[in-house]
Structure 1
Amino acid sequence: MRILLTGATGYIGSAVLPGLLLDGHEVTAIARSDDAVATITATGATALSGDVTDSDLLSQAAREADGVIHVVTPGGQITDALDNAVVTGVLAGIEGSGKPYIHSSGIWVHGNTHGVADENAPLDPPELTAWRPKIIERMRAARGIRNIIISPAVVYGHGSGLVRMIVDGPQTSDPEPALLFPGTGDQHWTSIYIDDVATFYSAALMRAPAGSYYIVASGQNPTMREIAAAASRSRGLGGRIAPEPPEDSRRRLGPIAEAFCMDQQASGAKARELGWKPIGPSLLDEIETGSYARRI
């Protein structure tokens, strides 16, 4: 298939792109800069210079493709305009064609899950991503396409992503310092390894039905206390941890602090129905001995 991909040089997109190519797809990826063009071209994909907020560009590119995958998921209110521009452009190009269009959301859209969430869980996002439910409504209302929405859990791996903000967090000034973490420590993070996310996008592209929605999660939901303890051991702090004062977390992390303190659990059971299976290392192992571990 000829696939139009957004976000190919971002954290998730940089894993999705080679996966699509490995599966034999031809990929055209939007590139905002000369560096992005070079990075995309080096993979064997075709770079299309432009911006994802250019709805006319997207419309034409989507019309020429066999399917579209949107994985640009930056934080902040800027994404409201960005995502609406993408949906507008893509739908203008392919509505009525029956082509697949995968649009990325995120687990935070469900807010505190009060146990293990599935795809029927209510939408209750923090302020940081409060715009996303309306995007989901637009996608679900689309007709004449194979519309698919993917909400990844907290993505980790390759030493990057949101987890880095915990691993590189501040520590106390005690004689035996402890790593500070946001929240009470009892909140769960539902998680998914980045390469497993990439394989799910490929599976959804080929097999997900129209109107489908998937939470992509490993089923591992460690607490913040467990995550911080693993990071503490990887930093040589002996597993010592302490809660960060809430005002310090807000000052250090900004609006993302609220999301970091949410309690979320998910199994990813529905995603497995497509024949997909997560096989990557656990979040705790990846922090303590994998790509986030400090090499001394």
Structure 2
Amino acid sequence: MHVFITGATGWVGSAVTDELLKAGHEVTGLARDRNKAAALAAAGARAVEGTLDDLDVLRQAASSADAVIHTAFNHDFSKFMEAAAQDQHAIEMLGSALEGSDRPLLVTSGLLGLPPGATEKDAPGPGPRKSEPTARALAERGVRAATVRLASSVHGIGDWGFVPILVRMARETGVSAYIAGLQNNWSGVHRLDAAKVYRLALEQGVTEPVYHAVADEAVPFKQIAELIGRHFGLPVEPRDRDHFGWFAHFAGAELSASSAHTRSVLVWEPTGPSLVVDLDQPGYCA
């Protein structure tokens, strides 16, 4: 299978690229510059240069592929609304290139806006990020589009996601904090286990509208704060939401979820370390 991947050199996308290549698939990845293109070539993939704003590039690359995986997203949260709009337009273009065929599209999203302990059957509430609603709209037009919802922490050595944000905040403020009065949970998945969900979904024909790449279904946020505090010798204390600034929306969210259905239909069994075990490794929070 020839798969076109956006975000192919990113934290999740690079793991997906490696997983597909190891399984014998061909990969073409979107690369925003020559250095990224060289990294893809070194991994054994082809590269097409461009960004999510280059809609003609996206259309051409998707039209030439047997399947498309969209993992790219601009995580500059100071420009979140612009990033969400860019994401939506990119997904619409990728879907239009596949429309009228049976070639699948896997779109990436998260768990924010879902109920506690969410299952694959739960629909997200309204929010600025339109990844999943756009995929659902494409599916209604006959595109074989589905969404992979990632756990709140896609972890592993080299992590540049939410945990490093908490680490920076703890080191800058001198306290590893959790929100006072809350007992909220995050979820976790090792990046290599997440990559397997994408591969298995493609190989099995993308039969479901939603997949959950979730290994640890409910990890107390306070426990994450305690691990960070222990690593840096910092006190672990409750703080009000203002302490977290713009990140309070994530720090205080209930992001637990079930992956029972995904495990069953894909015969997916995570084998990587749990979030707690990973965070407890020397050097993870360096």
| TM-score, length basis structure 2 | 0.89
Cα offset, 1:55, TM superposition: 2.0
Name the structure 2 match of 1:244: 239
Cα offset, 1:159, TM superposition: 3.3
Cα offset, 1:131, TM superposition: 3.6
Cα offset, 1:170, TM superposition: 2.2
Where has structure 1 moved over 4 Å in runs of 4 or more?
Answer: 182-185
CA distance in 2, matches of 1:203, 1:133: 19
Name the structure 1 match of 2:119: 118
1:251-284 Cα deviation digits (max 9, x unpaired)? xxx2x32122111211211111211111111111
Name the structure 2 match of 1:8: 8
| Gap regions ≥5 residues in structure 2 | none
Give aligned-pair identity as a percent.
29
Against the structure 1 CA distance between its residues 183 and 207, is the aligned structure 2 distance closer, same or farther, given a 3 Å change threshold? farther
Cα offset, 1:243, TM superposition: 2.0
| Alignment-mate amino acid for residue 106 of structure 1 | G
Cα offset, 1:200, TM superposition: 0.9
Name the structure 2 match of 1:95: 99
| Alignment-mate amino acid for residue 147 of structure 2 | I
Map 1:44-193 to 2 at 5 A. 44-75=44-75, 76-110=80-114, 113-114=115-116, 116-124=117-125, 129-132=128-131, 134-143=133-142, 145-154=143-152, 155-160=154-159, 161-170=161-170, 178-182=175-179, 184=181, 186-193=183-190
RMSD over aligned CA atoms reads 2.2
Aligned length: 279
| Alignment-mate amino acid for residue 149 of structure 2 | S
Partner SS for 1:29: strand
1:194-235 Cα deviation digits (max 9, x unpaired)? 111011111111114345211221143111111111111222
Is 1:26 the counterpart of 2:20? The answer is no
CA distance in 2, matches of 1:185, 1:157: 26
| Gap regions ≥5 residues in structure 1 | none
Is 1:286 the counterpart of 2:278? The answer is yes
CA distance in 2, matches of 1:196, 1:62: 25
| Alignment-mate amino acid for residue 206 of structure 1 | E
| Alignment-mate amino acid for residue 84 of structure 1 | Q
Name the structure 1 match of 2:269: 277
CA distance in 1, matches of 2:91, 2:181: 38
| TM-score, length basis structure 1 | 0.86
Cα offset, 1:18, TM superposition: 0.8
Contact 1:182–1:245 (Cα < 8 Å) also in 2: yes
Contact 1:63–1:94 (Cα < 8 Å) also in 2: yes
CA distance in 1, matches of 2:53, 2:172: 43
CA distance in 1, matches of 2:171, 2:90: 41
| Alignment-mate amino acid for residue 71 of structure 2 | V
1:83-141 Cα deviation digits (max 9, x unpaired)? 2222222222221110111111111142xx23x2102224126x5x4444532432332
| Alignment-mate amino acid for residue 145 of structure 2 | N
CA distance in 1, matches of 2:60, 2:36: 20
Name the structure 2 match of 1:260: 251
